[in-house]
DNA sequence: CTGTTAGCGCTTTCAG
DNA sequence: CTGAAAGCGCTAACAG
């Protein structure tokens, strides 16, 4: 053993008690100093801080939070980390959190309501200051727990229906509607739809509904739809595009459930020797970085994912209390005019 | 108010006490039942569970963990969520965790040692059963805290040097070396290097060292290097590739710091009308999904990110105690033979 | 500016 | 199989 014997013993835990003893003050004073709250004589503070350093004291938040009846925890539930969308929401959350003393606890539901329920239960057990969940749909038990929980509840990504406390996101139905309107105005008449498994993805379904409505108002509809039974990926986007064109070779523009799928469509066309924009036009959803850098920039609809995460945190930082009426914050969406549609 | 008055009052918190009172048993018994530990009469158990349901009781883990002196928390620290690499590690972690009763608390360091230090301090305050950090390099204070902490410590991603407790990952130096060897064997002699800002990215630096060594052993070296001062992205990969070729038009193969950068290189070539594989060959690192689906599949080196996360969790689940000697677990790497090099 | 006194809600012996 | 008592480590009043 080469370590100096003066190092704190790893066995014996150091608590406020040890620090107080060493610094010759009360535990309260130590606590006050650690929390940077109340006023303390400079001389005392230094004595205590020296003891803290000497002992390598780290306050136990379990005890602190239990005593003060409030944690600095924010529980976060996202459905997936498979594509870059939710990591970007998480980045927004981290950005919003930085500077605050809050800490995020993240779990992944895999788009499954039962999993969501057990994770919400697990999160609430920590008495978080807030819980951020994805979407406005949950099962009965989850909704009840969230409604009854003492902290704030933010439902992220969509504002299409009424939230429990506050919702931050966009209107997916409108996004779908505007997508179809945009393409109709560009003169397209032969529409196809390519999607991942949107069964568990209510927001993708809402967008599809909006598109269908706009088309129907124009006396049109999708000539063909090609839906996978797996989560979205570039690979499955390629496969589903091939399938769409086999089934309906006269499709002139394909709307995709999201950018990952759309990029797959772009790659399919490149390989099949199809000219994108004339043989087949492509429109995505999300506005991911990759779309901007494709040889022909992807036409798509930007969702403001980072902003959603950041705004969600700003909301809960603003007030520890729920508003009298549920609030919806629309982070909007914009058409990204690319070269593929 | 349309809610039934029989619903539990949202104001008054329910604790073991309330449940015990309603079920006519002691708090101890309630606690035992909630923890599924020790033996209880079936009749009693049912009475208690009914009370639990009626009151909507959720045990407070803060109190529980404080009393039992151990949490089911796993603290996780990753440097970034910008590209899909670390989300995939997190997926592995979640996968390893599912079925266990552990919960992950994740934070992002932004490749900054000082940030890492404060986050490690913040995590340790929750008395986690384990902490998973990225990489084997930390600042002095962080290393000390990790060494002295009571739980397990896993250092993820690399095994190039000696860990504190257990390291799970690959040898990045060897990966770089093998990359260059592979390309040398294919007959390449004019090498270029394209990178993001690898200052804070020790693993990318190790790979670069490995490449340089292999080249030097062959009496060669990089003709030109093009390094950005920003994090990796497809966009910056494009820009840096253009810059490399301006500076050194005779480069025949470019090795990239990772796949994001390499995909940018591919897109640059497509736009510039360069034939990939003959005008310029491209080699990445990571083996991301997108590379497999490019019109010409990307030649790259697969890192097993999901496996790293999953293995890290398996290690800490295996034993709550640190091994006598630090352990390194090599998750390996493999050349992915694509069409770009 | 500092200390005293009570808990926070749960788990843990240890008896019965 | 069940309960009583004694904390876990910290913070919140309230005095002084």
In a domain, A296, yes or no: yes
pLDDT of residue A223: 97
β-partners of residue B34 are none
User: Which of A57, A77, A100 is the last residue in one of the domains?
Assistant: A57
Question: How far is A251 from A245, CA to CA, in rounded Å?
Answer: 7
Residues A333 and A303: beta-carbon distance below 8 Å: yes
pTM of the model: 0.90
Distance in Å, residue A24 CA to nucleotide C2 C1': 12
Is B339 an 8 Å CB contact of chain A? no
Point out the least confidently predicted range of A47-51, A101-105, B248-252.
A101-105
In a domain, A16, yes or no: yes
Binned at pLDDT 50, 70 and 90, residue B12 comes out as: low
Closest residue by C-alpha to C1' distance, nucleotide C8 = A67
Return the residue matching tokens 């910056």.
B236
Q: What is the mean pLDDT of residues A150-168?
A: 96
In a domain, B141, yes or no: no
CA distances from A207 to A95, A174, A201, A210, B77 (A): 28, 7, 10, 5, 35
Burial B139-175 (b: 16+ CB within 10 A, else e): eebbbebbeebebbbbbbbbbbeebbbbbbbbbbbbb
pLDDT of residue A78: 95
Is B182 an 8 Å CB contact of chain A? no
Q: What is the pLDDT of residues A223-264, one digit of tens each?
A: 999 999 999 999 999 999 999 999 999 999 999 999 999 999
pLDDT over 70, % of chain B: 96
Q: Is the pLDDT of residue A197 over 70?
A: yes
| DSSP-based three-state secondary structure for A299 | strand
Binned at pLDDT 50, 70 and 90, residue B4 comes out as: very low
Question: How far is A193 from A180, CA to CA, in rounded Å?
Answer: 11
Cβ atoms within 10 A of the Cβ of A219, count? 7
In a domain, B312, yes or no: no
Nearest to A154 by CA among A128, A141, A140, A135: A135
Domain assignment of residue A12, given as a range? 1-57
CA distance A144 to chain B (A): 9
pLDDT over 90, % of chain B: 82
Question: How far is B193 from B184, CA to CA, in rounded Å?
Answer: 14
CATH of the domain at A24: 1.10.260.40
pLDDT of residue A12: 64
Tokens for B22, please give them: 């309603």
In a domain, A156, yes or no: no
User: Does B125 sit within 8 Å of A60, measured CB to CB?
Assistant: yes
In a domain, A184, yes or no: yes
Q: What is the pLDDT of residues A52-84, one digit of tens each?
A: 988 888 999 999 999 998 898 999 999 998 889
Distance in Å, residue A62 CA to nucleotide D8 C1': 10
Q: Is the pLDDT of residue A3 over 50?
A: no
CA distance B131 to chain A (A): 14
pLDDT of residue B150: 85
Read off φ and ψ for residue B8, nearest 5 degrees. Answer: -55, 140
User: Which of B302, B321, B336 is the last residue in one of the domains?
Assistant: B302
Question: How far is B204 from B190, CA to CA, in rounded Å?
Answer: 21
Which residues 251-310 of chain B have a CB within 8 Å of chain A?
263-264, 267, 270-271, 289-290, 292-295
Which residue in A57, A105, A262 has the most chain B C-beta atoms within 10 A of its own C-beta, making it the best mutation to test that interface?
Answer: A105
Binned at pLDDT 50, 70 and 90, residue A105 comes out as: confident
Q: What is the mean pLDDT of residues A308-320?
A: 95
Count of structural domains within chain A:
2
Q: Which residues contact B36 (CB under 8 A, 6 or more apart)?
A: none
Q: What is the pLDDT of residues B260-294, one digit of tens each?
A: 999 999 999 999 999 999 999 999 999 999 999 99
Report helix angle A305-318 to A85-97, nearest 10: 30
User: Which of B39, B57, B75 is the last residue in one of the domains?
Assistant: B57
Closest residue by C-alpha to C1' distance, nucleotide C9 = B63
Question: How far is B97 from B100, CA to CA, in rounded Å?
Answer: 5
Calculate the average pLDDT of chain B: 93
Q: Is the pLDDT of residue B8 over 80?
A: no
**Type and span of the H or E element at B309:** helix B305-318
Q: What is the pLDDT of residues A12-43, one digit of tens each?
A: 688 999 999 999 999 999 999 998 988 889 99
CATH of the domain at B227: 3.40.50.2300
β-partners of residue A330 are A169
In a domain, B160, yes or no: no
Question: How far is A261 from A246, CA to CA, in rounded Å?
Answer: 17
Q: What is the mean pLDDT of residues B196-219?
A: 97
Which letter does DSSP use for residue A164 in this model?
S
Return the residue matching tokens 């590690």.
B89
User: Does A88 sit within 8 Å of B81, measured CB to CB?
Assistant: yes
In a domain, B338, yes or no: no
Binned at pLDDT 50, 70 and 90, residue B101 comes out as: confident
| DSSP-based three-state secondary structure for A28 | helix
Calculate the average pLDDT of chain A: 93
């Amino acid at each position: 053993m080469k370590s100096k014997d003066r190092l704190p013993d790893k066995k014996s835990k150091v608590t406020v008690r040890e620090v107080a003893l060493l610094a010759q003050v009360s535990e309260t004073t130590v606590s006050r100093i650690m929390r940077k709250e109340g006023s303390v004589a400079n001389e005392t503070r230094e004595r205590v801080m020296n003891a803290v350093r000497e002992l390598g004291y780290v306050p136990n938040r379990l005890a602190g939070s239990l005593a003060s009846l409030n944690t600095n925890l924010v529980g976060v539930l996202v459905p997936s980390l498979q594509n870059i969308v939710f990591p970007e929401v998480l980045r927004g959350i981290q950005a919003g959190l930085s500077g605050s003393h809050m800490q995020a606890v993240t779990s992944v539901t895999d788009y499954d309501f039962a999993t969501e329920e057990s994770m919400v239960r697990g999160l609430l057990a920590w008495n978080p200051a807030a819980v951020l969940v994805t979407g406005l749909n949950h099962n009965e038990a989850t909704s009840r727990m969230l409604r009854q929980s003492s902290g704030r509840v933010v439902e992220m990504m969509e504002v299409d229906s009424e939230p429990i406390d506050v919702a931050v996101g966009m209107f997916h139905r409108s996004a779908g509607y505007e997508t179809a309107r945009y393409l109709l105005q560009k003169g397209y008449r032969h529409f196809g739809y390519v999607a991942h498994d949107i069964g568990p993805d209510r927001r993708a379904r809402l967008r599809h509904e909006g598109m269908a409505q706009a088309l129907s108002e124009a006396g049109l509809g999708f000539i063909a739809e090609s839906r996978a039974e797996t989560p979205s990926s570039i690979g499955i986007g390629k496969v589903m595009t091939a399938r769409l064109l086999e089934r309906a070779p006269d499709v002139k523009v394909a709307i995709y459930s999201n950018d990952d799928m759309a990029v797959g469509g772009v790659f399919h066309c490149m390989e099949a020797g199809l000219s994108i924009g004339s043989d087949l036009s492509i429109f995505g959803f999300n506005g991911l970085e990759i779309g901007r850098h494709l040889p022909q920039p992807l036409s798509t609809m930007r969702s403001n994912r980072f902003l959603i995460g950041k705004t969600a945190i700003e909301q809960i930082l603003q007030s520890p209390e729920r508003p009298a009426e549920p609030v919806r914050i629309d982070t909007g969406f914009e058409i990204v005019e690319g070269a593929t549609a």
